[in-house]
A and B are shown apart, each in its own frame.
Chain A
Amino acid sequence: MRPPVPFGQYVPIDSPIHALDPRTKMGLMAAVGITLFTVEGFMGLGVVASMLLVVIALSRVPWHLVTRGLKAVTLLLSFTLLAHALRWEPATVSLVRLGPLAIDQGGLLQGLFFSARIVILVLGSTLLTLTSSPVEITDGLTRIMRPLERLKVPVGDIAMMLTIALRFIPTMAEEAEKIMVAQIARGARFDQRWPVSRARAYIPVLIPLFVNLFKRAEALAIAMEARCYTGGYGRTRLHQSTMTKTDISVLLAACLVLAVIAVTL
């Protein structure tokens, strides 16, 4: 039994979208989000969707990976669509009628509009995580939050914690797997039906995991301090990401186009 190593969905390919600075991509994502919540008609959504399709094509990420994110919202999507389209004893224009239940035309259109908005949002955010690694996103996030340092927000520490956590996810998964295999060898079972009995089955895995975690934390903290780590403030990076001219022009151009769409459509 192998616990799945949940390490993001990043697809390392060489594409113009991958080459963009994570800050540019996050900025674009925010701009797309704002535009989606301002446009009022299908026209606006259509333009944003086609822009997104071009970006997806440029990123050269396989389609099935981009659309995988939609699985998680299948229920929300069908709810949105059905809640709007279905009418009980309808008074308005109905397309299909089934006893007292009917599909309402206006409602269907509205449901489609809202669903399309969700689909674009989900695809956009999935694309962001497909084209930038968690480490890049952390880096971008830290740079964006830098001004908060003036308000005494420990941005450097947050960056350090994100980085260490990301680094240790595979290590933890591996350790969990090792302990689980060892317990299975001793007759443990992790396939019970009920969540409580399953949670109880994990006890002989959890205790060594936590004990090792705190031991490892001690060793790591000592190692960091022995190397003169004195907090995240003012730390520099070996691989500094920079906003290139391309980044700035892409960001400005896209924001301009999105602003026009948001205002006019």
Chain B
Amino acid sequence: MQSIPTRILVEISLCVALAVVLNALTLLRMPYGGTVSLVMLPIIVIALRRGVFAGVTTGVIYGLIELMIDPVIVHPLQVVLDYVIAFGAVGVAGIFRTVYLRTAEANSRSIRGLALLFLAVALSSALRYCAHVVSGYIFFAQYAPAGQPAILYSALYNLFVPVSAIGVFAAAALTLPALHSVSLSRARGLNGGQD
């Protein structure tokens, strides 16, 4: 029984390793915790190269490793939301795979390609933001006295995600077209199969 082809399995693993390294290269540290980094970039790259399944798997594995390396546990549900669901959701960017690869094939620097990339980054960051906000809401609702705007606290606290998204989009918009000619296109047409 082999469910994930070796080639994709290895790519996922190496993208996870790169995400861990990029997470350490902080772009900006928020004054109250939470860091702005390019951690979402490898997950989005693998999602656009291999599709939603590979993207979500990369996110989830990254979450698990982050949990092993540097856990912050304040609530059981928070662990699942902040580590597994938040990063898994980033991989959903893979729904743009087919259309992005087709566009990039024609012209990797076209406005359309850039717009698709923007949509992919925006969608995955929005989903990640939602997961963190729900997790924060659970935390603040549990620990803040009743009657306080828990959802507002959480939305503010997690603002580092949209800020990261801007950096990730800037990096993706400049990296992916260059990568396309070298790496992305080779995965096209294989439909998740092995080279």
Residue ranges of A at the interface with B (Cβ–Cβ < 8 Å) = 3-9, 33, 37, 69, 72-76, 79-80, 83-84, 107, 110, 114, 118, 121-122, 124-126, 128-129, 134, 137-138, 141, 152, 154, 157-158, 160-169, 171-173, 176, 195-196, 198-200, 202-203, 206-207, 209-211, 213-214, 216-218, 220-221, 224-225, 229-233
A64 to B185 CA separation, bound complex (whole angstroms): 49
Question: Would A217 and B14 count as touching, CB distance under 8 A?
Answer: yes
Question: Would B144 and A199 count as touching, CB distance under 8 A?
Answer: no
- Indicate which residue in A6, A79, A110, A129 contacts B20 across the interface (CB closer than 8 Å): A6
19 A-B pairs with CB atoms under 8 Å apart are A6-B70, A76-B143, A122-B73, A125-B73, A134-B69, A157-B4, A157-B9, A162-B65, A165-B62, A172-B17, A172-B20, A176-B25, A195-B28, A209-B18, A213-B14, A217-B7, A218-B195, A220-B14, A221-B10
**Contacts of A6 on B, CB cut-off 8 Å?**
20-21, 23-24, 69-70
Question: Would B16 and A75 count as touching, CB distance under 8 A?
Answer: no
Which size bracket describes the interface of B in this complex?
35 or more
Question: Would B13 and A231 count as touching, CB distance under 8 A?
Answer: no
Q: How far is the CB of A227 from chain B (nearest CB, A)?
A: 11
Question: Would B143 and A83 count as touching, CB distance under 8 A?
Answer: yes
Question: Would A3 and B24 count as touching, CB distance under 8 A?
Answer: yes
Residue of B nearest to A149 (CB): B1
A203 to B167 CA separation, bound complex (whole angstroms): 11
Given the contacts A168-B13, A172-B18, A221-B10, A73 and B74 also touching, CB distance less than 8 Å? yes
Query: What 4 A-B pairs come out closest when comparing CB atoms?
Result: A231-B2, A164-B13, A199-B167, A165-B16
Question: Would A171 and B17 count as touching, CB distance under 8 A?
Answer: yes
**Contacts of B6 on A, CB cut-off 8 Å?**
221, 224-225, 229, 231
